[in-house]
Amino acid sequence: MQLTVDLGPLGQRNIFSGIARSYAPEELVGKHVVVFANLKPRKMRFGVSEGMVMASGQGDDAVTVLELDPRSLPGDKIS
């Protein structure tokens, strides 16, 4: 699944994620998710991915993206 995420002061990033089995694209709109933004861009078969969405799950089973409190702001750092 191709995502465009808002990272606040870091701008928008294009991310390819393997979460399509667990989420329809419209389910992710407006969610505050954890993104690894300090990764080097990686050329994928479909384009360039500029980060990674953090998710949990077991193997090929459904995964769950890690969501933050809705009061968080795009670009907030996790410490």
Cβ 53 vs Cβ 3: under 8 Å: yes
Structure-model confidence comparison of residues 4 and 62, the more confident one: 4
What's the predicted TM-score (pTM) here? 0.86
- 61 falls in which pLDDT band (50, 70, 90)? confident
Q: Where are the domains of the chain?
A: 2-65
What's residue 79's pLDDT? Answer: 86
What's residue 22's pLDDT? Answer: 93
What class has domain 2-65?
mainly beta
Cα angle 20, 22, 23 (rounded to 5 degrees) comes to 65
pLDDT in tens, 7-58: 999 999 999 999 999 999 999 999 999 999 999 999 999 899 999 999 998 8
What's residue 30's pLDDT? Answer: 93
Residues paired with residue 52 on neighbouring β-strands, in sequence order:
36
Cβ 23 vs Cβ 1: under 8 Å: yes
